């Protein structure tokens, strides 16, 4: 009986070692790809996700434009729409109440996910010639964030932007076009920006640093010095504490890389623990198994495996000691006979 217990405890010990190694290997990252599905759209395309509607929009922005609407949870294709002409849409953004916004240079378009009907909310701008890029729409769809650069008009009618022309950020009413807020900068690089989930603040990169502004109060609400190089988009998580770069998830206030991931340029954030990116024609569903940088037995399965390993080791040692006592007793009994 002792030999059987000893062998069982040894087997348990070896199994625990193997399980601990596998768990540690597979659970290092806070994020993992839960599934991948074919994108169904070729070329460059933009993504926008609606968790409450269980919908995912994919818009092809090169060549003949096509909008593909999928079931977010399963990836099932619900609708395919081909756009006539050039819509000038370069980005997609999911708004409240299932509203899908498309925007680019000089335009903001509301897209119906059921019919693909497009409503122009903003086209062009009055006043002096300017290069006007839409960087985001507030969550409730009331305001728009613009990045503006002055344009030099030539006698031929064409215009160009001088090198090292600084960017000016503006918040305008999307319905009336009325200017709500303006910030002139000395930054001459490509612009980016986004509204935070509360709709009252924006995050904008200025001179290699991200600044957070409460545009209603006209005050900078964050004094962090997050260093960031030129970005194509500024994608924020709903918690307002993290943002996505092409290679990592970073803390918005400290600038620290919380998780190194190969994300790329195309990404849609669903919630604080779920985002979707594209690579090699696939839509990758990324899920968060724990808070980045955290450690606790509840969030690390390998911690439980380690505990099982310790228990197995204890049983192994105790079992071996009992086996030795039993062996000595058995040998003594044989000698006495």
CATH number of the domain that residue 101 is part of:
2.130.10.10
Give mean pLDDT, residues 48-58: 95
Q: What's the pLDDT at 26?
A: 45
* Confidence band for 188, pLDDT divided at 50, 70 and 90: confident
User: Is residue 142 included in any domain, yes or no?
Assistant: yes
If asked whether residues 175 and 269 sit together in one domain, one would say: yes
Q: What's the pLDDT at 55?
A: 96
If asked whether residues 16 and 162 sit together in one domain, one would say: no
User: Is residue 28 included in any domain, yes or no?
Assistant: no
User: Quick one: which of 137, 132, 136 has its CA closest to 147?
Assistant: 132
* Confidence band for 325, pLDDT divided at 50, 70 and 90: confident
User: Is residue 30 included in any domain, yes or no?
Assistant: no
Which residue matches tokens 């005050």? Answer: 219
If asked whether residues 224 and 263 sit together in one domain, one would say: yes
Q: H or E element: which one contains 17?
A: helix 2-26
36 or 336: whose pLDDT is higher? 36
If asked whether residues 52 and 183 sit together in one domain, one would say: yes
- To the nearest whole percent, how much of the chain has pLDDT over 70? 74
If asked whether residues 206 and 311 sit together in one domain, one would say: no
| pLDDT, tens only, 267-316 | 999 999 999 998 888 899 999 988 776 555 555 555 566 667 667 667 66
Q: What are the residues whose beta carbons fall under 8 Å from the beta carbon of 45, sequence distance 6 or more?
A: 39, 58, 59, 60, 61, 266, 278
User: Is residue 296 included in any domain, yes or no?
Assistant: no
Q: What's the pLDDT at 25?
A: 45
| Strand-by-strand arrangement of the 282-288 sheet | 31-38, 282-288, 274-279, 267-271
If asked whether residues 266 and 323 sit together in one domain, one would say: no
If asked whether residues 118 and 172 sit together in one domain, one would say: yes
If asked whether residues 144 and 113 sit together in one domain, one would say: yes
Residue 70 contacts residue 39 (beta carbons within 8 Å): no
User: Quick one: which of 242, 300, 294 has its CA closest to 271?
Assistant: 242
Tally the domains of the chain: 2
**201 pLDDT higher than 90:** yes
* Confidence band for 129, pLDDT divided at 50, 70 and 90: low
CA dihedral defined by 290, 55, 238, 35, rounded to 10 degrees?
20
Q: Please tell me the pTM assigned to this model.
A: 0.76
Alpha-helix runs per DSSP H in 113-215 = none
For the chain, the average pLDDT equals 81
* Confidence band for 123, pLDDT divided at 50, 70 and 90: confident
Which domain, by its residues, includes 321?
2-21+301-336
If asked whether residues 8 and 81 sit together in one domain, one would say: no
User: Is residue 294 included in any domain, yes or no?
Assistant: no
The tokens describing 236, both together, are: 């924020």
Ranges 7-16, 193-202, 211-220, 266-275: which has the least confidence: 7-16
Q: What's the pLDDT at 101?
A: 96
If asked whether residues 14 and 145 sit together in one domain, one would say: no
| Distance from C-alpha of 133 to C-alpha of 121, rounded to nearest angstrom | 14
**224 pLDDT higher than 80:** no
* Confidence band for 52, pLDDT divided at 50, 70 and 90: very high
If asked whether residues 244 and 326 sit together in one domain, one would say: no
Q: What's the pLDDT at 126?
A: 58
User: Is residue 250 included in any domain, yes or no?
Assistant: yes
Ranges 78-92, 122-136, 181-195, 259-273: which has the least confidence: 122-136
User: Is residue 293 included in any domain, yes or no?
Assistant: no
User: Is residue 47 included in any domain, yes or no?
Assistant: yes
If asked whether residues 264 and 316 sit together in one domain, one would say: no
* Confidence band for 5, pLDDT divided at 50, 70 and 90: low
């Amino acid at each position: 009986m002792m030999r059987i217990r000893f062998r069982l405890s040894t087997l348990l010990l070896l199994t625990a070692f193997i399980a601990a190694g596998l768990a540690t290997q597979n659970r290092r990252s806070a994020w993992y790809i839960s599934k991948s599905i074919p994108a169904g759209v070729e070329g460059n395309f933009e993504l926008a996700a609606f968790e409450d509607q269980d919908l995912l929009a994919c818009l092809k922005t090169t060549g003949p434009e096509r909008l593909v609407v999928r079931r977010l949870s399963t990836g099932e294709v619900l609708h395919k729409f081909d756009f006539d002409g050039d819509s000038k849409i370069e980005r997609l953004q999911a708004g409240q109440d299932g509203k899908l916004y498309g925007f680019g240079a000089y335009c903001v378009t509301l897209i119906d996910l059921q019919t693909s009907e497009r409503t122009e909310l903003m086209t062009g701008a009055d006043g002096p010639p300017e290069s006007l890029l839409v960087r985001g729409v507030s969550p409730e769809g009331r305001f728009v964030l613009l990045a503006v650069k002055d344009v030099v008009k030539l006698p031929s009618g064409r215009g160009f932007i001088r090198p090292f022309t600084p960017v000016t950020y503006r918040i305008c009413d999307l319905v009336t076009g009325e200017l709500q807020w303006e910030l002139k900068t000395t930054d001459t690089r490509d612009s980016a920006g986004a509204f935070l989930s509360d709709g009252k603040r924006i995050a904008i990169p200025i001179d290699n640093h991200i600044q957070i502004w409460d545009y209603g109060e006209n005050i900078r609400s964050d004094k962090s010095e997050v260093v960031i190089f030129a970005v194509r988009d500024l994608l924020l998580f709903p918690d307002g504490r993290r943002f996505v770069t092409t290679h990592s998830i970073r803390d918005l206030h400290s600038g620290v890389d919380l998780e190194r991931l190969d994300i790329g340029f195309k990404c849609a954030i669903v919630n604080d623990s779920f985002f979707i990116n594209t690579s090699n024609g696939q839509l990758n569903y990324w899920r968060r198994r724990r808070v980045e940088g955290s450690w606790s037995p509840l969030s690390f399965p390998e911690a439980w495996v380690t505990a099982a390993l310790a228990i197995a080791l204890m049983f192994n040692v105790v079992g071996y000691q009992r086996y030795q006592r039993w062996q000595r007793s058995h040998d003594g009994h044989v000698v006495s006979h």
